[in-house]
Structure 1
Amino acid sequence: MLLEKGPQGLRTSRLASLQAGEGKSGHIPAGLNEGILFFDNVFPLKLRKILGLPFSSQGSPPRFLKYFISPSITGTDPAGIVGKVSKEKNISIKASETILRLKEGGAFVKFTHDGSTPASEVEKVLQEYLRKEKIRPWFSPWRRMRVNLVKGKPWVEDMFRFPTQRLKVEFIPSEPGAEAVELSQEQLYAFFRPYGKLGDIVAQPPDSKIVPRYAYLDFARQPRAIMARNCMHGYLVTQAEGGGAKGTILRLSYERKVKAHWVRDWLVNHPRIVIPVIAAIIAGITVAVFDPIRTFFVKAHITRSLHLEDNRFYKWIKGYATDIIHWRRKQDDDAGMEAVWDDRKGNIEQIQTWLMETADTFIIVQGPRGSGKRELVLDQALKDRKNTLVIDCKPIQEARGDSATINAAAAEVGYRPVFSWLNSISGMIDMAAQGATGVKTGFSETLDSQLAKIWNNTATALRKIALEKRNKDDKDANLGDDEWLEVHPEHRPVVVIDNFLHKSQEGGIVYDKLADWAARLTTANIAHVIFLTNNVAYSKSLSKALPDRVFRQISLSDCSPEVAKKFVITHLDADVEDDAAPKDGSPKSIPSQSRTDLSELDTCIDLLGGRLTDLEFLARRIKTGETPTKAVHEIIEQSASEILKMYIFGSDSSDDSARRWTSEQAWLLIKQLAEKGSLRYNEMLLSDTFKSHGESVLRALEQAEMISISSGQNGRPTSIKPGKPVYHPAFKRLTEDNVLRAKLDLAILSELTKIENATIEKCENELLLISKLGKQPAQMAPRIQYLLTKLAGSQEKVERYEREGKGLKKVLGEEY
């Protein structure tokens, strides 16, 4: 809009858009005795964000902002300032045109003068006036208005291009065919430094083929770059100023300082810094966000606060419904256990007493599989105790792979969310980063560290549960948390670790971490820890975690014959209430009173033993109508078949390399245990069959539950017995099979023959070596006699084995 400053103030003289220059040419012509000034800080620079919209006008402020940022209101009217200076300084200048530049925050003012005052003097007067008056608009209270004379030929375009701190200066010839001169940095600095501080001057690379030649000017502040661009665009550098014979024109444009992908490039180029920082950030987020959530879920798992069946309203509704509808009572699978609990009442009370004491040590319940350890502890000793955490080691140890192991461990304690799949991904990232940087970044976590996180979160939840009972009215309220836990063992939760050392020969990292964690719980008085294990060598593993403590131990053995008989009879009578009443109205028959074959139980239990699982199996078979004698013989027959399948057939290394014993070793134990019932541990190791890796073979068979090894004084193994009581009659049943016995005895004889033949060969080779000496010294005579005696003894054994083998082959050839 063309404006003229008159005595009445700022008014419109004619309507013509000069936002694109005179006649929309993009330029402002200046004739004789005319000049152009550029004022900055007339409009707020932030206004360009609104002007960036395609439908916004760049010629005047938006209508809703005119009452706030109009130059006449903010006191930054350039034409008015020119008029004031003309009056106050008594110089003959007059503003003839004003072109607002909203996107640059300024305005061009075209003025006329009488020729007596040069334009450069007008510029100095106006600059001195603004420096003295310090005119500041309300939207920029810290920056005053500035003015400079336009020396070039300004280009006033209305395109959507916005100011930046960087200017691109192109060197253009003054006329076609002429040659432009590329100005040096010193020359550019002299031309542009008066407009503001320069941050940098970047010249075009010498080998660049781009024309016209150019340079970049980086101003410290954006308003200075705007002022320089509007005042120096189109300026003709004369020959005297270093512009060449025909002169050089400066063409200026705003250039966005491109930092393309600089963040990405920095991250990629500094992996030794970036990757550990990312790992630390992820770890921090995990601790800050996920750890409280996981601790909450672990706590809910222990207290069962999220279990519907433990909710009191659910129990009330269920009890109310049960009173209305009489449900059929389900079969009690634990029938008959009352007799067992009566027999083990002392063990139950002992565990309950230990849980009320402050001793910081482990409680260990050891017994063979099927002896009722879990039921004794959970269903009896801890029956009325809340806040019990049960960790079953079996699914954790049997999990295949790190992710499965982490998931299994997390499931046992209610640890969620668990991102086990990230473990593999982070491992691959760490490997790739190590290949790129040459050092480990520590981004990935091992199974050890993941398990440690799970147990640590669980310990935090257990501690919170233990302290929930504390209140301000407590007589020990003045004590610290640790001291309070020490004097109140009754409030500590109980951690039951079941199947401890299950398949421990496959790797002990899980058990080592569990034992260390359990030791921290007990020594810090956070929880009581009870271990349930089948392994008699548990002390070796647990002593590493608590080397200076004496464990509290309970060893469960098989039931006595009286308790076993009572267990079976009670089991038989358990379902009488569920049976339909006779139609004739007579009372229900009780099996223990009506059956006449129960007198056989004494003999049957002597064969079967007191293992609870076997007794329960016997009771179920009797329920089906079998006599006790027949049921026991069936159980013994089934056990014999299991022994053949598990320990004899398919146990060679060619068939199953995971088994660490041979058929001959297992058969020798079966045969001698069937005959004697118990064997001396060290005597067995002296036999030729067990000379090679004998102890490891016996331990492997103990883990496989074919035998049990009893320890005596100082924990030294002393005797070998069948793994279950029913195995003893099963061993006898197997040795009564002549064909099986002949086959396996023949295999043992073959192994022994190989051993003796190897001894004979060894003696022969040494005697041959001695014979090559020629004349033997007298000192060699004892050695020669020893070798001859040993060779004769081995030969005698070979001949005896062959004679025995002939009889066994005869049996195999005549019987089926």
Structure 2
Amino acid sequence: MATKRLFLPLQRISANLPPYSCLKEHRMLLPPAFMRTKPFPSCVNASASNRAVSGTAGAVEAFSNPSSSVVCPQVLAVWFDNIYPIRLSTWDPRHWWATYYARILKDSVKKDIIPPASTFKSNFSYLNSVSSIKEGGLLMRFEYDGNKQDAFDTITEFVDRKGLRSMVTLGQKIRAYPVEGEPWIEDLHSSIPSTRINLDFVGPALPIETLYNEFRRFGSMFDVVVDEKSGGKDAPRRGHVQFYSTRSATAARVCLNGKVINGTKVLISYEPALSRNFIFKMLRDHPRISIPIALALLALLSYLIFDPMRVFFITNTVTNRFSVTRYISDISETMKIAVRRFFFGSSLTSDKKSDYDDDDDYEKQQDYSASFAERKIHENTLLVYLKEAPDTAMLVHGPKGTKPSDLVDKCVQAEPYVLRINMDELINQADHVMLDRFADQFGCFPMFNWMVSSGAILDTIIAAGTGSKPGLNSTCEDQIKLVLEYANAAFNNIVTKESIKRQRLADQLEPVADSQEYGKLPEIQYPVVIIEGFLSNEKGRQSFLYELMTEWVSTIVEEHLAHVVFVSDNPSAFKYLGRAVSNKTVETITLKDASHESSLLYVYRRLGLPNSKPLPAELEDSVLAIGGRLTDLEQLLQKMKASLKAQRAAHGHEDLPQESQLAISILGLGPSVKVQDVVASASMEDLRDATIKSFNDMVVRSETEIRKAGLFEDIGAVISRRSEAPTEWSTVQMWKIVQLLSKFEEISYDDLRFHALFKGDEAPIQAIERAGLISVGHKDGRPFTIKAGRPLYRTAFKRLESDPKYAAIMGLKTTKTIATNELANLSALENELNLITGQSDSRLSWWARGEVRKRVDFLAKKIGESQRKIAALDAEQRKLSKAVKLEE
């Protein structure tokens, strides 16, 4: 039999419906006036129709005239089940959706559910229908002047024969039940359908056998209970029926509510779910006990739902399986090529990136190792580490500008599972911002970071009301540890799947296969964790992140879950990791500046010049001054290219069509001209001018950086520092380093440490090193030499020291500081001398008097030396003052 699918939207629930009965056999209860579709039958006494009798549903009660010979039609009702989804709770969104689409139900009911009038044995007349969205069904009323059982059978057989189904309930078959009681359709929010219904007997209690026979047709039952002792003497007896299905309970309540069985009227209501009733009662009566239980339920919910979600999203971030970002670059590049072809044609379009795309800088993606042989060794070391099973961590560090991140990025291009963590984006941020960024870098979602800020407030409020702390307060460390635990679970899942995949391939090989076949098995692909900016701001806010990350790394390395690569420019990172990961030896890759020959080769490659073509002497001198620092070399070449392209752009667009010039001005596009062609067409004089200008700009910028960061000459910074903690080094200490490094390529660490300005304190030197202004070289595990933080800084040091006015000002500050220290020393010597010489020699023995004279002589010599230093400093101050004296 073909099955007809029916979509039945809902109608808003009406108020109370009337009870129904046959006019011949029982009294008749007429519907409210707004539900009548036909006038009162003529057999009903008009005076009787005016009398209202209160019923269970609040309906209008009428009666039939027993003496009348006219046969009046019966008002009957049928309940159609499985029309809508049953309402599960007060906030069930399906209920609102079904209510919205209930307006067209009346047209569908009369056409699709009710059989034609010709199929009935007697006269059939449709009255109306009311939807009970909460109970998932439809109540249909009709008039029938024959045997009511024939009408019920006709409707039931019609519904079963057509196989009607509702798409709202995912295709469940619609069922029809005759209504024998007084149905009560209501929309009370407190009454939610459940599998258990309560029975109130108005009259003697009914036996279990009778209840079973009445309720069994609606579905399988779990239990039937009759409590004859409930209530007082005049209170109605009670019972309950437990169904297996909620649909059975709703059909039974609608069809049998108010039915008189053996002289007892049965009133039916839903019993609230045990958990919901228990929780509400517990929260009302026992708040101290309910709060821990509620927290336990929330923890269980998190464990069952949120924790798997977070592990899934972290796994997705590492594997990049559902990410669309990798396709964005291809789409944008295709659009750029299409725009170029539209404006310039295919002759001026290249599939490669144009040299005018400075933001993308296609040439930056070339292989650095072809020019820097030193980096090739480090690349091989890192690649070997990534191919082995994770047993320890790797530290890639070097001075600022050596680009350790580029080295790591190149080595992990072929790795399928990579997780990047940028510590610089987390340090010195507000707690909620830091937590959001930390979770976002891991891809951990959802995270309820608001609990960190609101947990303490909730703890205080609940403790004030209940007298006990619920422990809702959560710290940043707790949230971060949770994210790291989820990351461990994600790594474990990835490694487990890789191991299973490799084992399956091994099982496919025959046991007699030779070793070469087994050697072709793929290795397990472990995740790679890249932690960038490690220890770059060890004294900043949220610096506890460094310790938490190292503890986490120690855990995943011990469990062989992932490779870990730290990227840092802090020279003390190795010592920090050595203490944190004490049970493992951290492998280290230390990047240094390239040699002069490698730097020149790199310049030739980037400029596209043959090795036989000589470079201007100014360019070679600039490369020598830069000293092989990769970022400075890159900046120099970029400035040179920009200068050369600016000269070409001034003369290169006059012969282009007008639409091409419009595209250049609006879209920033241009013909695909290679930089090699620009450099090759430039004269030696153009190269020399571009080099001098570019190198001078870099030196001036370096001078500004030194004066602001090292010598604290930024006025805004000076004003803001008045309310802040003092700096870690003084201006004169930095100036002394500038003076020394402008004369010597490197200086002794110990000699500088015990200078009069440092007095043996290495904290200022280490702070200056962390700022990147100097670089400390080690020998036999201890600091030995000091160099400029960047080779270019040495040129800037020379220029600062060669400025007579500026050098005189800094010299005055230096001599004043030293003179102040010397005066304090002289004052201490004089006080001691006065104390000794003021004592009477008569109270001392001849031997003691001799020793005192020795001490007096020693103090006199020290006073003389200090006085000579002060005199020299005073002379130096007079000399320097003449250099900055205003001529009037």
Question: TM-score normalised by the shorter chain: which range applies?
Answer: 0.5 to 0.7
Asked if 1:304 corresponds to 2:320, the answer is yes
Aligned to 2:422: 392
Write out aligned runs for 1:182-331 (5 A).
221-222=230-231, 224-226=233-235, 267=283, 272-308=288-324, 310=326, 327=351, 329-331=353-355
Point out the more displaced range, 443-452 or 647-656: 647-656
SS for the counterpart of 1:445 is coil
Distance verdict in 2 for CA 1:671–1:262, change over 3 Å: same
State yes or no: 1:461 paired with 2:558: no
Distance change in 2, residues 1:789/1:493 (3 Å): same
Shift of 1:679: 1.8
In 2: Cα distance, 1:423 partner to 1:279 partner: 16
Amino acid at match of 1:498: E
Task: State the secondary structure of the residue aligned to 1:222.
Answer: coil
Task: Give the whole-Å Cα distance in 2 for the aligned partners of 1:718 and 1:348.
Answer: 28
- Per the alignment, residue 391 of structure 2 pairs with 360
| Pairing 1:446-525 to 2, within 5 Å after superposition | 446-469=475-498, 470-471=500-501, 473-475=504-506, 490-506=524-540, 507-525=542-560
CA deviation digits over 1:539-587, x for unaligned, max 9? Answer: 23222332122221111101111111122222223xxxxxxxxxxxxxx
Aligned mates of 1:403, 1:284 — CA distance in 2: 25
Does residue 1:690 correspond to 2:758, yes or no?
yes
Shift of 1:272: 4.6
**1:737 aligned onto 2:803:** yes
| Residues 135, 445 of structure 1: alpha-carbon distance in 2 compared, 3 angstrom cutoff | closer
Aligned with residue 406 of structure 1, among 435, 447, 467: 435
Give the partner amino acid of 1:492: Y
TM-score in terms of structure 1 length: 0.63
Deviations 1:657-679 (A, max 9, x none): 46322111111111111112212
Alignment partner of 2:211: what SS?
Answer: coil
Q: CA offsets, 1:164-210, max 9 Å, x none?
A: xxxxxxxxxxxxxxxxxxxxxxxxxxxxxxxx99xxxxxxxxxxxxx
Q: CA deviation at 1:292?
A: 1.4
Q: Is 2:425 aligned against 1:376? A: no
Match of 2:565, SS? Answer: strand
Q: Which residue of 2 aligns with 1:701?
A: 768
Aligned residues: 583
> Is contact 1:339-1:563 (8 Å) kept?
no
For residue 583 of structure 2, give the secondary structure of its aligned residue in structure 1: coil
**Aligned Cα root-mean-square deviation (Å):** 4.3
Deviation (angstroms), 1:734 = 0.6
In structure 1, the partner of 2:862 is 790
Stretch deviating more after TM superposition (318-327 or 329-338): 318-327
Alignment match, 1:347: 378
Counterpart residue number, 2:741: 673
Q: For 1:475 and 1:13, how far apart are their aligned partners in 2?
A: 83
Residues in 2 aligned to 1:395 and 1:312: alpha-carbon distance in whole angstroms: 24
2:812 aligned partner, one-letter code = L
**C-alpha deviation, 1:395, in angstroms:** 0.3
Change (3 A) 1:58 1:355: farther
Distance 1:15 1:302, change over 3 A: closer
Call closer, same or farther: CA 1:745–1:275 in 2, change over 3 Å. farther
Aligned residue identity for 1:420: N
Distance apart, 1:266 and its partner CA: 6.0
- Unpaired segments ≥5 residues, structure 2: 1-23, 30-53, 65-74, 79-146, 150-198, 215-225, 238-276, 356-361, 510-520, 645-688
Residue among 799, 813, 816 paired with 2:885? 813
**CA 1:362 to 1:786, structure 2 compared with 1: closer, same or farther past 3 Å?**
same
Whether the 8 Å CA contact 2:200–2:236 is kept in 1: the answer is no
Distance change >3 Å, CA 275–CA 793, structure 1 → 2: farther
Structure 1 equivalent of residue 473 of structure 2 = 444
SS in 2 for 1:468: helix
Using the TM superposition, give the Cα deviation of residue 467 of structure 1 relative to its aligned residue in structure 2, in angstroms: 2.6
The answer to whether the 8 Å contact 1:661/1:697 transfers is yes
Quote the offset at 1:803 in angstroms. Answer: 0.9
**Higher mean C-alpha deviation, range 348-357 or range 772-781:** 772-781
1:673/1:731 contact within 8 Å kept: yes
Task: Say whether residues 1:536 and 2:604 are aligned partners.
Answer: no
Give the SS at the match of 1:690. coil
Report the CA distance between 1:453 and its aligned residue.
Answer: 1.2
| Kept after mapping to 2: 8 A contact 1:681/1:720 | yes
Query: Do 1:51 and 1:58's aligned partners in 2 also have CA atoms closer than 8 Å?
Result: no
Distance verdict in 2 for CA 1:728–1:67, change over 3 Å:
same
Unaligned runs of 5+ in 1: 1-11, 18-49, 69-101, 108-129, 143-195, 198-218, 229-260, 479-486, 574-589
Instruction: Tell me the residue number matched to 1:631.
Output: 694
What SS does the aligned partner of 1:709 have? strand
Displacement of 1:787 in angstroms is: 3.1
| 1:642 and 2:658 correspond | no
Contact kept, 8 Å, 1:308 with 1:314, in 2: the verdict is: no
CA contact (8 A) 1:335 1:570 kept: no
CA contact (8 A) 2:372 2:602 kept: no
**Bigger Rg, which one:** 1
Identical counterparts, % of pairs:
24
Paired amino acid for 1:308: V
Aligned to 2:530, the other structure's residue is in SS state strand
TM-fit CA distance, 1:629: 3.8
Residues 671, 15 of structure 1: alpha-carbon distance in 2 compared, 3 angstrom cutoff = closer
Contact in 2 for aligned 1:276/1:442 (Cα 8 Å): no
Q: Which amino acid aligns with 1:277?
A: I
Question: In structure 2, do the counterparts of structure 1 residues 644 and 314 end up closer, same or farther at CA, with 3 Å as the change threshold?
Answer: closer
Structure 1 contact 51–103 (Cα < 8 Å) conserved: no
* CA deviation string 1:418-452 (max 9, x = no partner): 33223212232123334556654321211111111
**Which of residues 614, 619, 625 in structure 2 aligns to 1:607?**
625
Q: What's the CA shift for 1:391?
A: 1.2
How far apart are the structure 1 equivalents of 2:312 and 2:882? 73
Deviations 1:512-533 (A, max 9, x none): 1111111111111111111111
Deviation for aligned residue 1:306: 2.0
Matched, 1:727 2:743: no
SS in 2 for 1:640: helix
Distance in 1 of aligned mates of 2:476 and 2:441? 16
User: CA separation of 1:634/1:309 partners in 2, compared to 1, >3 Å: closer, same or farther?
Assistant: closer
Q: Secondary structure at the match of 2:772?
A: coil
CA distance in 1, matches of 2:570, 2:697: 29
Q: Is the 8 A contact 2:390 2:561 kept in 1?
A: no
3-state SS of paired residue (1:683): helix
| Structure 2 counterpart of 1:552, one-letter code | E
Deviation at 1:757, TM superposition (A): 1.4
Distance 1:609 1:815 in 2: 42
**Larger displacement relative to structure 2 (446-455 or 433-442):** 433-442
Matched-pair contact (CA < 8 Å) for 2:390–2:563: no
